[in-house]
Amino acid sequence: MRRQGKVKDTVLIVEHPPTVTFGVREGINRLVGEKESLEREGISLVKTNRGGGATAHNPGQLVCYPIIDLSKRRMTVDEYVSVLEDIGICLLDKLGVTAVKREVFPGLWVVGRDDANMSRPEKIASIGIHLSGMVTSHGMAINITNDLSIFDHIVPCGMDGVSITSVRKSTGVEHEMKAVKEYLVECVRKYLGMEQ
């Protein structure tokens, strides 16, 4: 519908039940253990058409799915990914977490107090997108209060040795997800100029 001009640019903000999703890059869709063990724990396995490798979703993780026409905004794919990261940085700043971008590794990272040189950053947000006719789908998942043990079942984004964190783990604060979603709307409006 967006490609046909029947709807305006739209952003979906959701939480998912326990799910592991796989991206199109088969070589980096890596599980730890057997698929059957995830299914026994009630974790769904879903193949997607987004970029990137395996990632995990569950309640308390905020997922932002922009469906926007990049050609109408005269925006390149790299610029769009950078804007998604800026939206995440904006949201996390409101929640008391300083997150940073890393070249070559889409997503957001938190650096520990004793680790100013980025040698062991923790990942707090993942990005995986798909384009069809320059219209985006999929997007960004940000760990807020979710149970991080779901990530024990995968090699996040196919990257060995990556530690995953959340706002709750980084700050010790339990945020109300309704308020976090409202903050995210503010950040989306700031960086994408979206109307309500």
Provide the annotated active-site residues. 157
- Left if phi > 0, otherwise alpha if psi is -120 to 50, otherwise beta: which for 14? beta
Angle formed by the axes of helices 77-94 and 177-192, nearest 10°: 140
Q: What is the DSSP letter of 26?
A: G
Helix then strand then coil, % of the chain, to nearest 5? 30, 30, 40
Calculate the dihedral angle through the C-alpha atoms of 54, 46, 71, 7, rounding to the nearest 10 degrees: -150
DSSP 117-181: T-SS-EEEEEEEEEEETTEEEEEEEEESS--GGGGGGB-GGG-TT-EE--HHHHH-----HHHHH
- The tokens for 101 are 């971008």
